[in-house]
Structure 1
Amino acid sequence: MSLKIKIVFITLFITLISCERKINDLEFEKNVMTEILPSLIDSTCIDSRILNLPPPLGKPIYDKDDNYVGRDTTEIKTERENWKKELARIKNDTSKIVIAFNPIIETAEESNQNELVAHFGKKIIPDSIQIVTENYRIDFEKIKLNQNFKLRDLSKFPNRDTIWKTKYKFIFSGVFSVSRIQFDKEKKYGVLSAGFVCGRLCGQGFRIFIKKVNDKWIIDEVEGTWVS
């Protein structure tokens, strides 16, 4: 066998091994995402009805020139009692809370690799070979969520601001998204980005650190990254 043929054979072998590694890594990540997704939603998503029910502070008072001078608290006790009852009603409501979700899991932020080391310690070695620059689709319909949350494909909702102006026959709470997971080499620790948008100017971003404990993936910490 000539040297040239040997080189081609070795190159082909390495390519096949690399492809197999990518597939194995991707399947591993999909399994972790499937396992951790219910906890991610519980940690970041909110029933929008609660957001739209701020505690009463009393009616604002203005002078004859329409300048704010204070609040009328003469009925604040009754207002607070009504507020507490409505809050309890919402929390005890077993109706499904629908969240729009993009099933295409997009690329991870480049900074997440450094954040993984900063959070879990210098002994953590990020998996630099891991492919986190490609998107993949997750079959979220098969994932059982906690509480009353229910995911629906984002593509089934109106585009842009229309999504917030549309009246739905169900309780629509917002839009949830997650990035791919950056793991360490031993696949015991990970970090990903997530976001929950509850209105045109309402939302929050997160960096979520996860770890494997007793063969189960759990959330170690949720860190806020942006607020709107």
Structure 2
Amino acid sequence: MKLLKLTLLIILFASCERKISDLEFEKNVMTEILPSLIDSTCIDRRIMLNFPPKYGESIYDKEGHYIGVDSTKATQEEKENLLKWEKKNLEIEKDTSKIIVAFKSKIEFEKEDVESYFESHFKGAKIYKTKPEENPEYILDFQKIKLESKFKLKDISEFPKTDKIWDTKYNFNFSGVVYFSKIQFDKDKKFGILNGGFWCGNKCGQGFRIYIRKDKNKWQIDKVEGTWIS
């Protein structure tokens, strides 16, 4: 009986060690890959909202279907507006001030079943399935992660809730909200898949399916696919 109890305790301890190991492993991968995730999904909202002006006359076929634009028929006013638009874009691109992005630091499970996408992209690899209680959600300590780009993350809890986040006036260049799901790996932890999204307004945003792989002991993004757009 004592031997049985000891055996059960060893099994239980080993199981707990594995759970902790799986969670810490994912945290380490997310920490390593986060700068690349931000660069691949976030945008400068000012450029997106700086819409190009009308330039030229629209061309339609005999059935009234739109074909394109004849830019040779642009008016002088349209030419001037285009120059202003290009100048504005250039000013934004040259602006060295940080672009602030609200980050959802709680990394949660994605409801979408991504197994078929994973196995289609990484031929021969299969997702290693774990139960939520075996690999729980967690808070990513992103403040210690250095970003190489001009994006800077602030926890979403520091911003107004719901739609007020877009109506509030900030004393910094606020660009949007970004989030990522937990990573699902293969058994050997050489490949991974996660979902993410970037919101730039109430009806402005885009979703992503992100494939990552380990190459020469470093994790890197293998491919980013668009999943939805608003």
TM-score bracket, shorter-length normalisation: 0.7 to 0.9
User: Is the counterpart of residue 39 in structure 1 residue 36 in structure 2?
Assistant: yes
Partner in structure 2 of residue 149 of structure 1: 151
Which sections of structure 2, spanning at least 5 residues, go unmatched?
Answer: 58-72
Distance 2:11 2:130 in 1: 14
Matched positions, count:
215
1:29-108 paired onto structure 2 within 5 Å = 29-58=26-55, 73-74=74-75, 75-108=77-110
Q: Measure the CA separation in 2 of the matches of 1:171 and 1:209.
A: 30
Q: Please name the residue that 1:68 is paired with.
A: none
Q: 2:21 aligns with which of 19, 24, 28?
A: 24
1:38-73 deviation digits (Å, cap 9, x = unpaired): 11111111000001111111599xxxxxxxxxxx94
What displacement does 1:98 show? 0.2
Residue 11 (1) aligns with residue 12 (2): no
1:128 is matched with which residue? 129
**1:140 and 2:142 are equivalent in the alignment:** yes
Counterpart residue number, 1:199: 201
Moved over 6 A (4+): none
Q: Establish whether residue 162 from structure 1 lines up as the match of residue 159 from structure 2.
A: no
User: Could you tell me the TM-score, scaled by structure 1's length?
Assistant: 0.88
Query: Alpha-carbon deviation of 1:8?
Result: 3.5
Whether the aligned pair in 2 keeps the contact of 1:107 and 1:133 (CA below 8 Å) is no
RMSD of aligned C-alpha atoms? 2.2
TM-score in terms of structure 2 length: 0.87
| Cα distance per residue 1:73-121 (max 9 Å; x no partner) | 4112111111111111100100100000111111134512332112111
Structure 1 unaligned residues grouped into runs of 5+: 61-71
- Indicate the larger mover: 93-102 or 132-141: 132-141
Show the counterpart of 1:227: 229
Q: Percent identity?
A: 52
SS of the equivalent of 2:114 reads helix
Residues 126, 183 of structure 1: 8 Å contact kept: yes
**Contact conserved, 1:189 with 1:212, CA < 8 A, in 2?**
yes
